[in-house]
């Protein structure tokens, strides 16, 4: 694995999930693998879970970590080709990425959808330019439209509970939209569909009319507009709000879609999942979040395992690369 931006960067999603389960069992197995290696984490947006879990994962592997809040500690980056840079952006991503690649062996990047221009967001320009110009592996810490570390976490959490509960057969996994007062990105939902499609699950998507996701991610997915019908018999219920794709970035009003105990009673004693942060009693009722069915905290804990798994794969990739630079230099000098 050379980068970690979409599921296409993995050799096999199910195998990566198995590796994550191994890491969860033996978290200290590779505690020297990252020695002398540095992870740079660049945040263009606020972050709690991703920030802390990825740092922790790197430290578990003996890596050094450098964290930078790019928007606050640095400046705005230009992404257009050929432009005369006489505006607000002080540096082109070409230079920024290449320079950061000089100091870091792996670079993690968080960007957010601005939710104003679907095309601009769906191009994921910054992270793709980092992939092109950094010269080192790039890890998405959530881009405008994908959140692969979250999805690996989600599959790890599902597989762990399937094994624990000795569930046989294909589990029914329901992704349900829920209400929110702010316009949120579609990244978590998009990635969840992208990744679960590669597992042997019965996946069902449920949301109000108007909350349809991009066809790029829903192709082949069963959509059920009746939330209660969808929840029936579910083994795992994944709750997430997102703003409109068709009416791009608009908040969708549907307060009835809040998750309640009554709705959870329709499921097959499903485990409740959410990527957090969650607004209590707006998205999910206290009674559900505080019940034994909720595994959101454990799920958040698995973020560390997912990040560690990805870093292990990338560090192993780096080991396969020659590092003749020191030798070459000593011949020259």
C-alpha 6/C-alpha 191 separation (Å) is 8
Nearest CA to 153 among 144, 141, 164?
A: 141
Q: How many helices (H) and strands (E) does the chain have?
A: 14, 11
**Residue with structure tokens 């597989």?**
159
To which residue do tokens 């570390």 refer? 149
Task: Considering only CA atoms, give the Rg of the chain.
Answer: 21
Name residue 106's beta-bridge partners. Answer: 39
**Nearest CB to a copy of itself, comparing residues 55 and 190:** 55
Instruction: Give, in degrees to the nearest 5, the angle at Cα 45 between 186 and 238.
Output: 35
Residue of 1, 68, 167, 251 interacting with a copy of itself (CB under 8 A): 68
- Candidates 84, 168, 219, 256: give the one binding a copy of itself (CB under 8 A): 84
Q: Does 100 bind a copy of itself (CB under 8 A)?
A: yes
Contacts with a copy of itself by CB under 8 A: the residue count is 70
- Alpha-carbon gap, residue 50 to 48, rounded angstroms: 6
Contacts of 287 (CB under 8 A, 6+ apart): 260, 261
Nearer to a copy of itself, 89 or 214 (CB): 89
Interface with a copy of itself (CB under 8 A), residue from 209, 219, 321, 330: 330
The minimum distance between CB 87 and a copy of itself, in angstroms, equals 9
Decide: helix, strand or coil at residue 63.
Answer: coil
CB of 6 vs a copy of itself, minimal distance in Å: 25
The strand ranges marked E within 31-84 are 38-43, 64-69, 77-78
Residues 287-306 that bind a copy of itself (CB under 8 A): 296-297, 300-301, 304
- Measured from the CB atom, is 65 or 199 closer to a copy of itself? 65
From 2, 51, 128, 232, residue interacting with a copy of itself (rule: CB under 8 A): 51
What SS3 state is found at 179? coil
CB of 154 to a copy of itself, least distance (A): 15
What residues line the site for a copy of itself (CB under 8 A)? 21, 24-28, 31, 36, 38, 40, 43, 46-49, 51-53, 55-56, 59, 64, 66, 68-70, 72-75, 78, 82-86, 90-92, 94-96, 98-100, 102-104, 160, 163-164, 181, 276-282, 286, 296-297, 300-301, 304, 326, 329-330, 332-333
């Amino acid at each position: 694995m050379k980068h970690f931006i979409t599921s296409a960067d993995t050799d096999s999603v199910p195998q990566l999930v198995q590796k994550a389960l191994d890491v969860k069992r033996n978290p200290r197995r590779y505690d020297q693998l990252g020695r002398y290696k540095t992870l740079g984490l660049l945040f263009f947006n606020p972050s709690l879970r991703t920030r802390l879990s990825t740092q922790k994962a790197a430290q578990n592997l003996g890596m050094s970590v450098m964290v930078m809040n790019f928007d606050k500690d640095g400046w705005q980056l230009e992404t257009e080709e050929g432009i005369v840079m006489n505006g607000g952006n002080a540096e082109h991503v070409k230079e920024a990425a290449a320079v950061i690649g000089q100091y870091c062996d792996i670079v993690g990047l968080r960007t957010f959808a601005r939710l104003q221009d679907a095309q601009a967001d769906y191009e994921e320009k910054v992270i793709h330019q980092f992939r092109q110009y950094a010269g080192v592996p790039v890890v998405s810490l959530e881009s405008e439209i994908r959140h692969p570390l979250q999805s690996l976490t989600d599959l790890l959490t599902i597989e762990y509970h399937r094994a624990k509960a000795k569930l046989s057969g294909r589990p029914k996994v329901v992704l349900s939209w829920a209400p929110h007062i702010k316009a949120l990105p579609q990244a978590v939902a998009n990635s969840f569909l992208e990744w679960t499609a590669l597992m042997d699950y019965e996946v069902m998507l449920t949301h109000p009319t108007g909350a349809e996701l991009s066809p790029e991610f829903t192709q082949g997915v069963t959509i059920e507009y009746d939330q209660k019908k969808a929840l029936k018999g579910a083994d795992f219920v994944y709750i997430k709000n997102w703003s409109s794709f068709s009416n791009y970035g608009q908040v969708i009003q549907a307060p009835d879609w809040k998750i309640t105990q009554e709705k959870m009673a329709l499921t097959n004693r499903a485990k409740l999942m959410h990527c957090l942060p969650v607004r209590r009693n707006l998205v999910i009722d206290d009674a559900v979040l505080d019940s034994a069915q909720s595994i959101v905290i454990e799920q958040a804990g698995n973020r560390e395992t997912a990040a560690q798994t990805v870093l292990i794969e990338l560090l192993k990739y780096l080991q396969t690369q020659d590092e003749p630079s020191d030798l070459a230099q000593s011949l020259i000098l």
